[in-house]
Amino acid sequence: MERFVLSDAQWAKMEPLCLGKLGDPGRSGKNNRLFVEAVLWIARTGSPWRDLPPSFGNWSSAYTRFRDWV
């Protein structure tokens, strides 16, 4: 992804609060920032999850993670 909605400074504040980071028990997310950016893209556009651009990864995986997160 070439352009993010979150600035590096904003992400630096959020990153320690995200679930699935290294050191957490269980499976960790491959790329927490990309997941958060995908959620922001969905919220910003109002598109269904199936329309998530491939640059954010598999839409189904992102949706499942979002559903578990909510």
Mean pLDDT (the chain, rounded)? 84
Burial label, 30 (beta-carbon count in 10 A; 0-12, 13-18, 19+): exposed
User: Residue 22: its pLDDT value, please?
Assistant: 61
Dihedral of the alpha carbons of 16, 20, 25, 30, in degrees to the nearest 10: -120
- Top pLDDT among 46 and 2 is at 46
Residue with tokens 């950016």: 37
Average pLDDT over residues 61-66: 89
3-class DSSP state of 68? helix
